[in-house]
Each structure stands twice: as structure tokens, then as C-alpha cells.
Amino acid sequence: MSAQVSYWFTDTQDKIGKWAKHNFPDSDRVCTVGAVTEEAAEMLRAARKQSQKIRGTYEEWDKELQKEAGDTLIALFQAAEHCGFDLLDAFCIRWYEVSRRDFQQDSVGHGLPKEE
């Protein structure tokens, strides 16, 4: 991973953390982490309405989905900062594990390679 990407993640998490402390000084862990679920649910709502072809055009729901994806990422950065961990580190550790899974090979288990 490039130093530039690593710096961007660290800097962005720091900026969002400062913004959140300023705007939500009394926010606790549950409220902060709960915001991730709230924003992800709004992504789901947009995708669902788009799939149902109701209350808006495909393009309108696509814009809403993108907006909510951005809000979800902001909430993730905010939660990571509030809880005291580096989001990029958490991502890299999990991606290493998840990327090894092959659900085409093993759709019943965890998709992990068989240990020899």
C-alpha cells in the first residue's frame, strides 16, 4: 500500500474525528457506532426502492445510494476514531482473511482454503 493512501486514511480519520467531537461532543460509543448501522440502513433503503422501482427513478435512487455510501464511510471513520482504532489497519487485517475465502469452492463453510 502506498504511503499516500495510508496518509490519506489517517488524515481523514483524524479530520472526521475532530469534526465529530465538535459537532457531537456528548456522543457515546453506542450512538457513534450506531450511526454506521443507520447510514448502512439508508443505503439498503435506496437499493430496495430502486429494486422495487418505486418512489423514484433508477437514477434518483442510484444518486441516493451513492450519497448514503459516502455517509456510511464517514460514520465508519467516525466510529473508528471514537473507539480508538485505525480503520485502515482494521480493514487490512480483515481483508487479508476475507480475501482468502472462496465461496465458489466452499459455499457451505467459511470459504477458507482447506488446511493440510
Secondary structure class of 87 (helix, strand, coil) = helix
Residue 78 CA to residue 39 CA, distance in Å, equals: 12
Residue 60 CA to residue 70 CA, distance in Å, equals: 16
Residue 84, in any domain of the structure = yes
Residue 3, in any domain of the structure = no
Q: What is the pLDDT of residue 50?
A: 97
Cα Rg of the chain (Å, integer): 18
Residues ≥6 apart with Cβ < 8 Å to 6: 88
Q: What is the pLDDT of residue 81?
A: 97
Residue 50, in any domain of the structure = yes
Residue 110, in any domain of the structure = no
The CA–CA distances, whole Å, from 26 to 37, 89, 113 equal 19, 27, 45
Q: What is the pLDDT of residue 98?
A: 93
Quote the number of domains for the chain.
1
Mean pLDDT by runs of 10 across the 116 residues of the chain is 91 97 97 98 98 97 98 98 97 94 86 71
Domain that holds residue 63: 27-98
Q: What is the pLDDT of residue 14?
A: 97
Q: What is the pLDDT of residue 110?
A: 79
